[in-house]
Amino acid sequence: MMEDVRAAAGLDSYSVVTAARNEAANLPRLAQSLMTQDVLPREWVIVDDGSDDETPQCIAQLAAELPWVRVLRGVGASTPTRGAPVAAALQSGFAALSERAAVVAVVDADVSFDPRFFHRVLVAFADEARLGIVSGARQELRAGAWRRHFVTTPNVEAPCRAYRSDCLAAVLPYEPHEGWDGVDVVRAVLGGWTTRVVDDAVFRHHRPVGARDGGTVAKWRVEGRAAHYLGYRHSYVLLRTLFHTRTDAAALFLWVGYAGRALGRAPRCSDRDVLAEVRRRQRLRELPQRLREVRGR
């Protein structure tokens, strides 16, 4: 019956784009997750973004074994980064898609999920006509157990998100900066789309938090820089820093990254409507709701 719902809504197909830099250890696991989906992707474009490990050979082998895998050489980067190079790599992946699927998913190489994952994502889109961006529910390995990670609305999880194709066209191009994966969500909301996390579409994030950024200190510093780019209120960033330092002292560098960019008068997102919406959701009367959300309530 769910298959009929998806087909009637024209949402029975999806494509996947992955930006991969030095992901030889992770891509086979993701490939296994995609190969075992109840609904196979129409195509999977893997953008090799300047790898200097065995990633090119891994991708070539996947393309030889799976007819729906395509390989693309990205812009490359001297170091792993969540800013402009990743955004550019993903956009080149979108442009390389051979045909327009109803849903386009951005999936990091370091995630995995069960065979019903994309079935649940497509059903969510079919059930809600104005749903523009969704993600799965993220689990991270902490203290030896897989635990749920929560985000505040309207955000969705960055490592594994999917766009209705019309919504994706409306939010592109990505911002060439840390925080691009927050700007697109706000643009979607301002354009009349809804966003949400699909609770029963669970994915596991296998890379330890901060590993890609060079450790937890660097991770929080990057988060702070992204917060400045998105125009976060000073008070909101300070409260967020204090909240996270209860369990991770390195979270102090969230404030350090933010304040450093503020003192240096670094540029912010040029879309003033995005900045205004971000700040609106951080008003004092909104904080209790944000706190409930980040605690999963």
pLDDT in tens, 132-166: 999 999 999 988 899 999 999 999 999 999 999 99
Domain ranges of the chain: 2-205, 216-286
Q: Would the CA dihedral through 226, 214, 34, 202 be positive or negative?
A: negative
The per-residue pLDDT for 11 is 80
Q: Which of 179, 216, 157, 20 is nearest to 84 (CA)?
A: 179
The per-residue pLDDT for 289 is 87
CATH number of 2-205: 3.90.550.10
Q: How far apart are CA 279 and CA 276, in angstroms?
A: 5
**Cβ–Cβ contacts within 10 Å for residue 266, how many?**
12
Residue listed under structure tokens 């205004």: 276
pLDDT over 90, % of the chain: 80
The per-residue pLDDT for 4 is 55
Band of pLDDT at residue 77, cut at 50, 70 and 90:
very low
Cis peptide before 288 (omega within 30 of 0): no
Coil, helix or strand for 46? Answer: strand
Q: Are 171 and 184 in contact (CB under 8 A)?
A: yes
Residue listed under structure tokens 């999917």: 162
pLDDT digits (tens, 9 = 90+) for 218-243: 999 999 999 999 999 999 999 999 99
